[in-house]
Structure 1
Amino acid sequence: MADLRRALLERLRSGCRSIPLRYAALFGSGARGEMRPDSDLDVCFIVEHGRRAEAEDQIHALCRAAGRWTGNAVRPVLFDEDEIDGTDSLLASVARDGIPIAGDGRWLSRKLRTLTG
């Protein structure tokens, strides 16, 4: 099971390399190691400033591919870098429990701390 998870993370990381992302992370049951066969795969993508249009098609293609790899539905959550809200509970959860797959692994935590003072 650990090897499957490791392979999935590597495939996601590889797929993210060409996407203009500030940060991306697997979160939810997939990050906690609690996925069941019927679980969704939750992935948070934070797109670089001004590059959402170029990133969206690539993100959705990666999510479709991840669905084929795992047999699970993939639920992407997209944010523009500029729309990060320091009080967003979902982002706080991603920063705390997510497994980074693109960008600096500490970026989101630092960004949220900066916004909340």
Structure 2
Amino acid sequence: MIDESREDSTVVDYRRRMDITRPLAVVAPTLDADVLYRLLRAEEVAFTAGQLQRLIPERSVDGVRRTLERLSRQGVVNAVHVGHAITYRLNSDHLAVPGLRLLAAQPAELVDRMARQLDTWPVQPLYASIFGSWARSQTTETSDVDLLVILPTAAADEVEAFVRDLEDRVHAWTGNDARVLLLDQEQVRDESLRPVLQNAQRDGIRVAGDEHWLRRALRRAAAQS
């Protein structure tokens, strides 16, 4: 149940939530964010406007080209004529690039921070992963951050405060609501949870524990059913 203070903070924070598929959108909610993010993910690669647009299919080639031209005028992107074409590559020497790299690294930083928080729990997870839309890179700025945590024993009372603290911290870090699905290893056998656990095993981004634990546990549960 969400208390009034938390609900109020959610309303206030609505406009600064994170879209993990567009981490630069937190400061540039335009095509610039999409173009720069793709260039940052392949810093040594030169793209034509058409090649880059294929990585951002919801945008037009003309829009991508205009953005690249403007960014090249600002010096963040290097433009090179190759025959009749122009290729564009991130200018790694530009003063803004270290800051852009930090923004692009927000998803990885989130995983690291969550792992450090889980390390403080009195009962250590056998397995923990981000699952759902964040793991599939299908988020919007309103998507919840779903975290599966599997403990070796039924220890919900021992970690209740830690779960709430982690959810609050993730909300503070991203602006998005966080939801922890807390289970013990015996609950992995529950057939009603099988679809969720299979999705987490297939798409999940490991945060803590043995990355192969859930796969083995589901295999054993299927063999025993």
Q: Secondary structure at the match of 1:31?
A: coil
**CA distance, structure 2, for counterparts of residue 45 and residue 113 of structure 1:** 18
Q: Which residue of 1 aligns with 2:211?
A: 105
Match of 2:222 in 1: 116
Where has structure 1 moved over 2 Å in runs of 4 or more? none
Which residue matches 1:44? Answer: 148
Give the 5 Å matches for 1:17-56. Answer: 17-19=119-121, 20=123, 21-56=125-160
Partner of 1:15: 117
Question: How does the TM-score come out when normalised to structure 2?
Answer: 0.49
Unaligned runs of 5+ in 2: 1-22, 24-103
Report the alpha carbon displacement of residue 60 of structure 1 after superposing the two structures with TM. 1.7
1:92, CA displacement in angstroms?
Answer: 0.8
User: Alignment RMSD, CA only?
Assistant: 1.4
Partner Cα separation in structure 2 for residue 103 and residue 49 of structure 1: 14
Greater shift in the superposed pair: 81-90 or 3-12: 81-90
Q: What amino acid is aligned across from residue 215 of structure 2 in structure 1?
A: S
Q: Name the amino acid aligned to 2:169.
A: A
User: Residue type matched to 1:91 in 2?
Assistant: L
As a proportion of its length, which structure holds more strand? 1
Partners of 1:63 and 1:76 within 8 A in 2:
yes
1:84 to 174, 188, 210: 188
Q: Structure 1: how far apart are the matches of 2:148 and 2:156?
A: 14
Offset at residue 86 of structure 1 (A): 6.1
Identity %: 32
Cα deviation for residue 101 of structure 1 reads 0.6
* 1:28 Cα deviation from its structure 2 partner: 0.9
Post-superposition offset of 1:75 = 1.5
1:59: Cα distance to partner? 1.6
Q: Residue type matched to 1:77 in 2?
A: L
Distance in 2 (CA, whole Å) between partners of 1:43 and 1:52 is 15
Q: Is the 2:154–2:183 Cα contact (8 Å) retained in structure 1?
A: no
Higher relative contact order (CA 8 A, sep 6+): 1
Q: Does 1:64 align with 2:168?
A: yes
Gaps of 5+ in 1: none
Q: Distance in 2 between matches of 1:40 and 1:54?
A: 24
Whose Rg is larger?
A: 2
